[in-house]
Amino acid sequence: MKKFFYTLWISLYPILIYTFIQVVLAMVMAVFVVAAGVSQRSMTEIFTKNALPITAVSAVLASIFMILFFNLDYNKGRIERRENIKALDFVMAVLGGAGIAVVLNIIVSITNVSGLDNSFTEVSKIFNAGPAFVTILCAGVIIPIAEELIFRGLVFNRIKFQYNFISALLISSIVFGIFHGNLVQGIYATLLGFCLSYTYNKTKSILIPISIHFSANTFVIILGKLTENSESHVILAIIIIVSLIFAAVGIIYFVKRKV
């Protein structure tokens, strides 16, 4: 029982630190907005437009702590030594990440989960509130780095060190899904988490899941913008088919990759 609560604590506090930083930044912003005498309606619009940048800034600040914790765990032998990483690993991570993201979005669309989750609509508004390059920079680059350091670099590794790979894969992925706070993203993130944990365990390099996560988020954002501005179903079908091929190639590569 002592081992369980210890593992729970060391897996939970990195997430709490990240969440605490987000809350503090949001409160600081709220103080400035209230001091400026902004109306409640305008305040809601301001927070909607800046929710993603606030999360990105939180991710940067949290990453400082996570890198420190990661290095401490590595030096103490809690994290397995990195294997030889090849350029092809990164290529397959990027291609596979883009493909898997499309596959998971298709699964979510077919099951019509989004129709049961009103909170996902609010999240979508936040994602589409700012310019595309800001969304890509925040949600496609900065946030994935912090999340991989937390959920794969710390949570996954610590559970694996205390118990085993299967426990680490299942728990870290499910917690990763729950962390996103809504049903649609929760299912998506959990399934993506399985892929991220598996490839990380195979390569022992945190850079691989970061690359997959970066590719998945960025590709979905770009695809979303393209479908908004395009009425061609042929182009969309071609993109989906190519993405499915990328997903298959990436999955086969990492499954067959020797450790």
Strand, coil or helix: what is 234?
Answer: helix
**Amino acid at the residue 115:** G
Separation CA 4–CA 194 (nearest Å):
22
Nearest residue to 204 via CA among 95, 91, 72, 70: 70
The number of beta carbons lying within 10 Å of the beta carbon of residue 137 is 17
**Angle CA 233–98–103, to nearest 5:** 65
Span 170-197, pLDDT tens digits:
999 999 999 998 888 899 999 999 999 9
Separation CA 126–CA 50 (nearest Å):
8
Span 29-80, pLDDT tens digits:
888 877 777 776 676 777 777 888 899 999 999 999 999 999 999 999 899 8
Separation CA 97–CA 251 (nearest Å):
9
Q: Give me the sign of the Cα torsion angle 246, 193, 160, 10.
A: positive
pTM: 0.91
